Each structure stands twice: as C-alpha cells, then as structure tokens.
C-alpha cells in the first residue's frame, strides 16, 4: 500500500516524499480513508506509530479541497493536553502543508500571548491548541470557533488524567454542532469511550495494535532495588553503559529536580522537564537533549505524550507510574518508527503493586535482575505510597495523632484534586 493509493492529493504526496516516508503505517492506512470520507473516527494506536499523520494528512486534504476564504476563519481545531505535544503536532501540520495554501498556528500557555494573538489576527485555517490558552483567548474575543468543520481530540486519555473534562465540554459548545470529529489516543479506558460516544457521531473505530500493549521492539527489564539505592544504581547504569541519550521518568516535580542535581554532581549532564518549568526552560532542556549536549532528561509524566525524539535508545523509570497506562506511554518514547529501544524500571518494594498492575495490563512478565551492591531491602514494606506522599511523611502523619482530626481519605482526595488542578494550570494556562 502507498500513500497515493489512500487518495491523498499531490501536494501532500510531495510533502510526504520530502519527509522520506514511503509507505503508511498501520494506523495511517486504517484511519486516513474514513477521515477522507468525512466520517467521525475513534482511533487507538500505540505511541510512536504515526497517528499524528493519521489525522493531519487527511485533515489537510479535506481543507485544501475547499477554496480558502479571504477572512480565513478557523476551520480545523486540534486540541492537545500539553505544550510539547501541541508544538509537535503543529510542526507536523507545517511540514505536511508546505505545498498547500493552508495557514496554521499553535497556541499554548506559559509564554506571552501577544505573538499568538498577532498570528490569529492574520487568519488561520488550522489551529493547534491546549485547552487553557484556547479558552482564555476565546474569552478575550481574540478567536472564534463558530466555523470549525473538523475537530480533533488528541491524547484524550491524558486530557482526562489532567482534569480537562470540563474544558473539553466547554470547547465543544463553542463549535458548530455539525462537524467532523476525530479522537486519537494510545489507550482507551471506559471513561474515554464514554466521552468519545458523547462527542462522535456513528464513529468508525480503528485500532492498529491491541489496547495498552507495549511496543514489541522495546526490550523491557526490571531492576529490583532498595529505594535508597536507586540514585546510585541509575548513575552506575548510565556511566558503565556510557549511554549518551537517556530519558528518565520520575513521579514528582521535586523528585525530578533532586535526581537531576544528583546526576550533575556525578558528572552526567542532565536537565529536568516538568509542569513547574517555564516554557523557555522546557524548550531549552529538550533542545539540549536532542542535540546531545544533555545526556539525561529527567521528566514527569507531563512530558510522556509530547516528546518526539527520533531513535531514543534508553528510557528509565526511576519510579513506576501509579497509573498503569502511563507505563505504556513512557516506554513508547523509545522504539519509535520501528527502531529498537530499551526500557528499564527501577522497582523498590513499595512499587510491587504497580509492577503487578503493569504486567497485567501489558499481559507479560518483565525480566527481573538484581545487581550486587544494589539489592532490594527484604524488610521494606510492599504497601504502595499514595501519590504526593513519601514514606517519611506517612510515618510522621501516623505518629502525630494530635493532627488527626481530619480523615486520611479526605486529605488524600484534596491532595489528588489539588495536584491534578496544578498540573492542568501549569501546563496550559498562563
């Protein structure tokens, strides 16, 4: 099968050829035809399988079929959960539309809105946006979505994880009821499918690979290790292996910063990327990682969906995610476009439940290894630590009965909601 056989226009085929693509990936082959037919599509594909092109190519074909209007109202909206993903999708739109009379731009928070407003004032056909900045500029009267013909919801599961449901519902009300809707994601939970069927009309469901399975070309391994020995182990692995490009995932922003400093102290160039970092700092860190001046990029899950790093050889889970699906997204940063990759997880006793849930999700047992000098603590508790709480905090809270007037459940719920709202605000609002 070729891209030409899918029915794409000559200008798009020219852009595809310039990019060096020869044949469509499975998700592209399955998704492009129904999108070109004007149907709503619900698509599931693993990270790194080319799903962005699966919706941008047919979207651009459909828009180019209509003569561009002089005023150029926004005719296609692509909504993404993070700044990095928005920037990546926009870059793809720009590349694919090089030989088309199509204008596009991207808007997201964390940067001055003035250049974005100036670009919008000139008229754009395709808008890529994060929810917070989109709603903010719409409230200011800077943009209108009342002419949108095609709506794309990208990484919908991450949208819900970050608490964007209300924002999505608000955006829906700003667009015409009659439009084409596309939903693309690497995973689909029951909540996502419920959202999908509230948005999509008689959708064609396409799936390139079984839901929530890890990319086959990725070699996965677990190192069982005492919690306090993780930093020493990760430094040993990177140093002994002389690894030049390693993406490390940490559950918390504070933990990412702390690990980054330890790496630098050990003579390993490193940078952290997470929601509390300014957009300038995040862009600089990612650029350094891509050009090789930074060997290790330490990230929180906020970065799991938006990083597009060709031929990334190593991903390390310094801490396992408490949401099993996030493991799939994390390791999906390596093994992209058919290349091989290695995903290593450092697992302490309190992450035993997380590991068991992940293995159940991906339907496989991950190889386990123990290195001499970094053995797991046989006396450590296997009770999982709640998100936002470390073991010492738990002990202090349990021993300080004088502050136990409020229930642990209510505190946990408040912390969870506070963290979710903070993640959302940091990543897409000013």
- CATH code of the domain in which 141 resides: 3.40.50.300
Could you list the residue range(s) of the whole structural domain that residue 290 is in?
Answer: 218-369
Please report which confidence band the pLDDT of residue 36 belongs to, taking 50, 70 and 90 as the band edges: very high
Residues 152 and 263 in one domain: no
Angle 144-147-151 (CA atoms, 0-180°, nearest 5)? 95
Element (H, E) at 288: helix 279-291
Q: Is residue 389 part of a domain?
A: no
Residues 317 and 348 in one domain: yes
Residues 33 and 168 in one domain: yes
Q: Which residue is it, tokens 């906020």?
A: 302
Closest CA to 315 of 296, 302, 337: 296
- Domain final residue pick, 334, 351, 369: 369
**Least confidently predicted of 38-52, 175-189, 240-254, 363-377:** 38-52
Average pLDDT, whole number, for the chain?
84
State the average pLDDT over residues 364-392.
81
Residues 230 and 160 in one domain: no
Number of domains in the chain: 2
Q: Is residue 417 part of a domain?
A: no
Q: Is residue 376 part of a domain?
A: no
The predicted pLDDT at position 66 comes to: 64
Q: Is residue 212 part of a domain?
A: no
Residues 171 and 248 in one domain: no
Structure tokens given for 248: 């490390």
Residues 34 and 72 in one domain: yes
Is the full-model pTM beyond 0.85?
Answer: no
- Summarised one tens digit per residue, pLDDT across range 87-135 is 989 999 999 999 999 999 999 998 899 999 999 999 999 999 999 999 9
The predicted pLDDT at position 338 comes to: 55
More reliable by pLDDT, 243 or 410: 243
Check if the beta carbon of residue 296 is closer than 8 Å to that of residue 268.
yes
Q: Is residue 303 part of a domain?
A: yes
Residues 183 and 267 in one domain: no
- Domain final residue pick, 369, 393, 424: 369
- Domain final residue pick, 369, 386, 410: 369
State the average pLDDT over residues 193-212.
81
Please give the distance of CA 304 from its chain centroid, rounded to a whole number.
4
Helix, strand or coil for residue 374? Answer: coil
Check if the beta carbon of residue 281 is closer than 8 Å to that of residue 301.
no
């Amino acid at each position: 099968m070729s891209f030409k056989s899918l029915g794409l226009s000559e200008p798009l085929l020219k852009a595809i050829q310039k990019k060096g693509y020869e044949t469509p990936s499975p998700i592209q082959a399955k998704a492009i035809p129904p999108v070109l037919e004007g149907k709503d599509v619900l698509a599931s594909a693993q990270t790194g399988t080319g799903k962005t092109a699966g919706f941008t190519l047919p979207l651009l074909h459909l828009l180019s079929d209509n003569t561009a209007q002089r005023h150029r109202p926004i005719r296609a909206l692509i909504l993404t959960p993070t700044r990095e993903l928005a920037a990546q999708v926009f870059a793809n739109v720009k590349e694919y539309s090089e030989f088309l009379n199509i204008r596009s731009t991207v808007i997201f928070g964390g940067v001055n809105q003035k250049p974005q407003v100036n670009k919008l004032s000139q008229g754009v056909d395709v808008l890529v946006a994060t929810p917070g900045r989109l709603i903010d500029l719409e409230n200011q009267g800077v943009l209108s979505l009342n002419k949108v013909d095609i709506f794309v919801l990208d990484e919908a599961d991450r949208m819900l994880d970050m608490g964007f449901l209300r924002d999505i519902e608000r955006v829906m009300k700003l667009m015409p009821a009659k439009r084409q809707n596309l939903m693309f994601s690497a995973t689909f939970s029951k909540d996502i499918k419920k959202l999908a069927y509230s948005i999509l009309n008689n959708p064609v469901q396409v799936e390139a690979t079984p839901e929530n399975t890890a990319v086959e070309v990725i070699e996965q391994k677990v190192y069982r290790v005492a919690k306090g020995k993780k930093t020493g182990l990760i430094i040993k692995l990177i140093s002994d292996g002389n690894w030049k490009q390693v993406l490390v995932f940490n559950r918390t922003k504070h933990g990412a910063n702390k690990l980054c400093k330890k790496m630098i102290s050990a003579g390993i160039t490193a940078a952290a990327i997470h929601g509390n970092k300014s957009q300038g700092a995040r862009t600089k860190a990612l650029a350094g990682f891509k050009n090789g001046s930074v060997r290790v990029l330490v990230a929180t899950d906020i970065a799991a969906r938006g990083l597009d790093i060709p031929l990334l050889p190593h991903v390390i889970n310094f801490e396992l995610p408490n949401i099993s699906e996030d493991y799939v997204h994390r390791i999906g940063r390596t093994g992209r476009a058919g290349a091989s990759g290695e995903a290593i997880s450092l697992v302490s006793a309190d992450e035993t439940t997380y590991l068991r849930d992940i293995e159940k999700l991906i339907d496989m047992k991950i190889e386990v290894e123990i290195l001499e000098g970094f053995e797991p603590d046989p006396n450590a508790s296997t009770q999982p630590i709640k998100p936002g709480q470390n073991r010492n905090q738990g002990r202090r809270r349990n021993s300080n009965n004088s502050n136990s007037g409020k229930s642990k459940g209510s505190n946990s719920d408040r912390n969870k909601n506070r963290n979710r709202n903070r993640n959302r605000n940091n990543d897409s609002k000013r």
